[in-house]
Chains A and B, each alone.
Chain A
Amino acid sequence: KAGVTQTPRYLIKTRGQQVTLSCSPISGHRSVSWYQQTPGQGLQFLFEYFSETQRNKGNFPGRFSGRQFSNSRSEMNVSTLELGDSALYLCASSWTGGAGDTQYFGPGTRLTVL
């Protein structure tokens, strides 16, 4: 069974640009969550999507947005990039995102903002 896949694996952008990251969940999983990981802040929750609806959101500015498609694939967009957005962006999927549902992570997209 294929795991969570994320594309691209690496990205280099400059300040002010925007970026779109993609995530394909494990087959059958309908919940997709996004996280930002940095050395200083660790893993921080961005948002969760289920059945094409954002169900939960972390404490990030509106420049961070996402969406989910009918096949459960998800995209995350960051507009007006800042240097501090450099991080590993991780996507995780689970069956329903319900109570106690285990999340399985993809390999991440390493974003560097110059």
Chain B
Amino acid sequence: EDQVTQSPEALRLQEGESSSLNCSYTVSGLRGLFWYRQDPGKGPEFLFTLYSAGEEKEKERLKATLTKKESFLHITAPKPEDSATYLCAVEGYGQNFVFGPGTRLSVLP
């Protein structure tokens, strides 16, 4: 059974204080690993898709990396508007997305 865990559960950062979020997974044949950001009361907003170990993608202050067992979302010099819940999902041969519980990020000014 495909499983996804995320750590930490919650993270508080000062504005400008860089950090990383972790997504660990077990999946029968990875077809894709996906990062989303979700603001309260809204649907998840797509950030990145990673397909194979060693792949990296960047967007503004965010950088996602992938190994065979985990993915990291690095946040460089975060701003208060980066505050959100960050969700990780994997797609294996089961062909449906399995989501992790998310990391609640708070960036304080």
Using CB atoms and an 8 Å cutoff, list the residues of chain A in contact with chain B.
4, 6, 33, 35, 42-45, 48, 55-56, 58, 88, 90, 97, 99-108, 110
Contact = CB atoms under 8 A, between A and B. Distances in A.
B41 A42 contact: no
Contacts of B89: 43
Contacts of A102: 32, 34, 46, 49
A33 to B, nearest CB: 7
Given A35-B99, A100-B32, 15 more contacts: A4-B43, A6-B43, A42-B100, A42-B102, A45-B98, A55-B95, A90-B43, A101-B32, A102-B32, A102-B46, A105-B44, A105-B46, A106-B43, A107-B42, A110-B41
B48 to A, nearest CB: 9
A104 B42 contact: no
A32 B97 CA distance: 12
Contacts of B51: 100
Main DSSP-derived SS at the A contact region:
strand
B39 to A, nearest CB: 10
Contacts of B97: 33, 45, 103
Interface residues of B, number: 24
B46 A104 contact: yes
A99 B52 CA distance: 13
A103 to B, nearest CB: 6
20 contacts: A33-B97, A35-B99, A42-B100, A42-B102, A43-B89, A44-B99, A45-B97, A48-B96, A55-B95, A56-B94, A56-B95, A56-B96, A58-B96, A88-B41, A99-B95, A100-B91, A103-B34, A103-B97, A108-B41, A108-B42
